[in-house]
A and B are shown apart, each in its own frame.
Chain A
Amino acid sequence: MAAAALKLDETFAALADPTRRAILKRLAAGEASVSELAEPFAMSQPAISKHLKVLERAGLISTGQDAQRRPRRLEPAALMVANDWLLEFRTLWQGRFEALDAVLDELKSTRDPAGE
């Protein structure tokens, strides 16, 4: 759990940036080189490279074999850990709040219509 937790820190930090989320979405469609990734963002390649470094450190992407193109590709595992964590939390609270809805409905229905 400790190792996964540590990684989750970096994963959430990496995911907090909209450009990096957009890069991940692009990579979800298939691997891409740095220049291909820079294109739609109107950003310099060094700026994109900085984002890629953050993503790679967080384990969210990796660099492919091709020495010339150095394509980046999505590493879904880190994302899955983050997703499971969020989902677990959300599912727990959704269930609780649905039960709370029922409690509140009951309070509403038992309220003296004359106003006590």
Chain B
Amino acid sequence: MGEPLKMMTPGDREILIERRFDAPREFVWRALVEPSLVRRWLLGPPGWSMPMCEIDLRVGGKMRFEWAHDDGRSMGLTSVIREIAPNERLVATEMFDEDWTGGETLVTQSLHDADGGTTLRTRILYASQAARDGAKMSGMTDGMEAGYRHLDGLLAELAA
């Protein structure tokens, strides 16, 4: 099951995702910056893997992620690291090869102590409001089943 995920849209161009993990900040940090760990979770629905994961962990360094699906689809992402504060904060500009996101996004991942665990806060800042609203999250979610379509669910989501 896992802990609940909180999604918010605090500004026109951004999305904020919050999730608590039952692990110390150092471990969550490692899972964000060590390629052998990143490639195990930063995936999509079943069928996707990450054959290429390179992280040059320094300011100005590049991260390169390449995903592949069993059915032959693939996608790639290049990031440039803007800020590193180990166990606290990682800031990078991201650009998908296919530019799903309508321009570069600025992604800030910050770690916060939370009840003996860690809250990971991911803030994605899009190039524009239209880019955020129009962005396909990635080609990965094509064909993902929409499990429910309830008005109350949506309204609660937006009110969160």
Contacts and interface: CB of A to CB of B under 8 A. Distances in A.
B158 interface: yes
Contacts of B43: 95-96, 99
Contact of A88 (B31, B144, B151, B154): B144
B7 A92 contact: no
A55 B60 CA distance: 45
B144 to A, nearest CB: 6
Interface stretch (B14-22, B79-87, B91-99): B14-22
Interface of B: 2-3, 5, 7, 9, 15, 17, 19, 21-23, 27-28, 30-31, 37, 40-45, 129-130, 133-134, 136-138, 140-141, 144, 146-149, 151-155, 157-159
Nearest to A25: B155
Given A4-B134, A84-B149, 5 more contacts: A21-B155, A21-B159, A83-B149, A86-B157, A105-B23
Interface residues of A, number: 44
Interface string A11-39: 01001101001001100100000000000
A104 B151 contact: no
Contact of A104 (B9, B27, B44, B148): B27
A12 B155 contact: no
Interface of A: 1-2, 4-6, 8-9, 12, 15-16, 18, 21, 24-25, 28, 76, 79-80, 82-105, 107-108
Contact of A83 (B140, B154, B159): B154
Which 9 interchain pairs have the tightest Cβ spacing? A5-B134, A99-B41, A104-B23, A100-B41, A8-B133, A83-B154, A107-B27, A88-B141, A98-B2
Given A89-B137, A92-B44, A99-B40, A104 B22 contact: yes
B7 A86 contact: yes
